[in-house]
Chains A and B, each alone.
Chain A
Amino acid sequence: MIPEFAILGHPNEGKSSVLSTLAEDDSVRVSPTPGETTQCRTFPVIIDGREVLRFTDTPGFQNPGRVLSELKNRTENDQNPLKTFRDFAATVPELHDDHELLGPVEKGAGIIYVVDGSRPVRNVDRAEMEILRLTGKPRMAILNCKEDDNEYLASWKNEFRKNFNANRTFNAHRATYAERILLLEALKAIDQDWQQPLSEVVDAFKKDWAARNNATADIITALITDALSLQLSENISSENQAEQCREKLLTRYTDTLGRMEKDAHRRIRSLFKHNIFNYDLPPHSVLNNELFDEKTWQLLGLTRQQLVIAGGLGGAAIGAGLEMATFGHGLGIFTAMGTVVGALGALFGGENLADKAKILGIPLGGQQVQVGPAKAIDLLFVLLNRSLLYYRHTINWAHGRRDYATGQPLPQTESPQGITHNWSTGNIKICHDFFNDVHDQEGDNHRRSTEKFRQLLLATMQEISESE
């Protein structure tokens, strides 16, 4: 028989949210009005076409006092009190929900009892817990705190100890991948018979997650490769047109980068089975900003010291990057200059390089205006940090959560430094090598550095997944 877990509880305690998060299904109807769920709904876990486990969402208890009383009356001289009670409840309209919710339990499902731990325990809850105890089925309690109030947790846990084999805290709105795995692991403990299928499920979940991370790493790597190689050019007939044309190309360059990034993020989102949740990072304006002003420093996700390292490693590239908006053949001179100012500028920040940018903006004569490919490693760090932030936000947006409008913090406020903030010199070097080899698509170096970069991404994502 396929192990089944029924999610039971008082109305409006977040049963559907818990299930939605656990099953990664944001199509589950969740609402602040109690009584949203009136029919049981099953969520099978299918591995390689074989159903190994199923979760069932149920309506909330509507008559706990009466159900307990009826069940107790039947317990004394009845072989299967639950069945006779359900037969009786089927004939009483008021007991519809109670009849429905005990259906899976009668068929042998394990019980996951969900309560809102931020409210006090009441007699109705005690009645519900006793009903579940009387069913004699393996059961675990989950504290899903809807508000940040820990005052009642102790009294809840006290009640749980009397009636449940295990209990856990699981916030349906904030649960991460790691917490979902922990919850599944904990379910193993409530009945020995279910250990094997549950282990299988946990294992499959982990593999599935690793596969999604791999796919994400591919998406991010491809995005950065494409973005760094992006090159736009246009022929001009006279120098007078240069400034105007440069402006136009820059706008197109920024738009194209934005589109590429958005597309990559959409693909990441669908990997994590988000259908309703739609999150867009606020547009980044690094290309319009002075490259090294204080704001950009933070957005790059590097400390000053890291930037010195990055600058020293690729000072030439940084210098060249500033030429993005200038004629291509002016490159050589300013690259040499850039090597020096790159390190200096990185160390002292701000103004002096901003001044340079202006000097570099003067067209030196020629027939073609070209923007890109990016010669500055900055773009890599900007896109990398934004993608990792997006990844973090996506995987941590629980499927049971529905406050899409309110729950979208800006990445700047969430993490002012970006995710690469505490990366080691080694990691920075991996990025640097990847950046350097990006244009050399054929070489072995490129393959090696890309793979290293991917591994770095995977390790970072795994770390993000398992944090909290």
Chain B
Amino acid sequence: MGPMKTNRQYDDIIDLEYFCHRDAAVDRSELHRRDRNIMLENREQPAGGDQPTNRQLVRLWLSARRGSSFPGPDRKSPGSIFGDTYLLARNLAGIKGILVGLLAGFSFFTYAGTTPVNVFHFLLLFVVPQLVLVGLLLAAWLLRPLLPGLKLPSFYSLLLRGMLTRIAAFIHKRWLHKMAADQRVSVSHAFGIFKARSSVYGSLFYWPLFALFQLFAIGFNLGLLAMILIKISTSDLAFGWQSTLQFSAEALHRAVALAALPWSWFVTQGSSYPSLAQIEGSRIILKEGIYHLTTGNLIAWWPFLVFCLLFYGLFLRLALFVTGKIMEHRSLQKLSFDTPACIALFRRMQTPLLSTRGTPEQEKIMAAEQAGPQVPEHPPATSSLSPQVVLIPEDIQSLCPVEELEPLLRSQGMSIKKIQCFMISYEEDHRLLRLLAEMRWDPGEGIFLLMEGWMVPLIGFLSFLKELRKTLPDRTIINIGLIGRPGATAFSQVSAEDLALWQQKVGALGDPYLTLSPLLPRSSL
């Protein structure tokens, strides 16, 4: 997979997030109509008559959505803006690297002809730091797989998420508690969104950044090499070494031979690194000056330095760049579109629009509207329904008959696997958690919590959600359906303010596999 294609995938992810975020406020039946039509209009596109893969569905959907939301070349989607920006950043990183390298080389070799270039200075400035940085990076990579064995979180999340929690705690302590409640809630919500995104995409967005760094380093090494070669061919450079520590020329020769191992096996001894005699001959002793040193010895160092830059700078960076690309590709491949928003999208695209409603009769519709909860008239086909363990608070259990709840859930693509009563007491709720932990969960099954939206979402409930997440198998979707204040039936519309508050509070948990939505579609009022 070429780099272009990889970048397209980043654009897609960003656009997917963007469109899903925009859809959150749109009525469900409208979304269904739109997404199903996208599917129908492009039926021919997925190869063969087979079921299209999730990836294909996402592509299809995104191209249709981009076409309608960002028509024409002058209106760009967030994804393509990211793509363009990234391309620019990549080019800039390379060019900047070359310029910095040229400049660094130029200023280093500005040489008056009185003292030779100190080999140690060159190595300390241009080779050692690069090696140290790479060493740190490799150490970090090596630590990553080791840490899970030590029952520690991965290095990345240890660094980033640990930091995030600490920052959040710090912020909370310093000034969050002084803020008004509504501001406090939205700050926590923003942190929650970030946490959720980083747990879905993991290190995915680390690799493009990594590649940028490598490109800069490659450019830098190229620039520096070019400048050395220019200087060597156009001016008379002398190289020498000196040290207050009285170590012998033999020791230095051994070290140099060791450093030259990567290339000394295919380059002749004379040019791969300086011989012992040349090393002795290029030693600068302050009180003696350089007049007694021979030219042959003074110019013997340069091939070694160029090889050092090539192998420890340029080639190493190229290798890292390629590794980064491979890792990027792998994490893109691993990305499964299994967040609740994606699953709902696939279901909408694959569920036929069904209407069995007769021609409208005005009075009857009015009467029906007063009768009770409204169920959208196009329930999805049973095959795509996701079975749910439904948890209903004890307070409203008697108000929620199964025959009323069932069609409402079906309209959201869910079926009832089992109904459990909860929020009885702290002990009972923990007993329930243990029961859920022991249950067998098939893939695609989820848990649905019916909650009263007009009640304040207490910390106690949010803690219960966290416990529930630990109890359930990984990536099990937790759905929360909100209802309004009970009237004749429990299934009433939740107010927009209450919904917004719940979204913020629950969103602050940063759980990407948790959804919250009104049980009744908003249009039914």
Contacts and interface: CB of A to CB of B under 8 A. Distances in A.
Interface residues of B, number: 27
A32 B497 CA distance: 10
B456 A38 contact: no
Interface string A21-46: 00000000101111110110000000
Interface in A290-306: none
Contacts of B185: 33, 35
Nearest to A66: B426
Contacts of B394: 123
A7 B21 CA distance: 41
Given A33-B185, A63-B459, A63-B460, A69 B177 contact: no
Interface string B484-511: 0110000000000100010000000000
B25 to A, nearest CB: 20
Contacts of B423: 65, 123-124
Contacts of B424: 123
Contacts of A124: 423, 455, 458, 460
A62 interface: yes
Query: In the complex, which range does the number of interface residues on chain A fall in?
Result: 20 to 34
A35 B425 contact: no
B369 interface: no
A234 interface: no
Contacts of A365: none
A68 interface: yes
Given A119-B454, A119-B485, A122-B395, A33 B460 contact: no
Most buried by B among A34, A36, A64, A127: A34
B427 A69 contact: yes
B463 A94 contact: yes
B456 A34 contact: yes
A122 B455 contact: yes
A65 B423 CA distance: 8
Interface in B413-431: 423-427, 429
B184 interface: yes
B180 interface: yes
A373 B467 CA distance: 79
B438 interface: no
Interface in A39-77: 39, 60-66, 68-69
Interface string A102-115: 00000000000000
A310 B501 CA distance: 59
B456 A64 contact: no
A66 B456 contact: no
B393 interface: yes
Contacts of A33: 180-182, 185, 501
A413 to B, nearest CB: 28
A12 to B, nearest CB: 5
A11 interface: yes
A176 B25 CA distance: 43
A260 B107 CA distance: 81
B501 A63 contact: no
Interface in B390-428: 393-395, 423-427
A197 interface: no
Contacts of B454: 119
Given A35-B181, A123-B424, 13 more contacts: A33-B501, A34-B456, A34-B501, A35-B184, A61-B458, A62-B460, A63-B463, A65-B423, A65-B425, A65-B426, A119-B454, A120-B486, A123-B394
9 contacts: A12-B456, A33-B181, A35-B181, A66-B463, A119-B485, A120-B486, A124-B455, A124-B458, A124-B460
Q: Rank and list the top 10 A-B pairs by shortest CB-CB distance, nearest first.
A: A62-B459, A63-B460, A65-B426, A69-B426, A33-B181, A33-B182, A36-B181, A34-B456, A11-B456, A35-B181
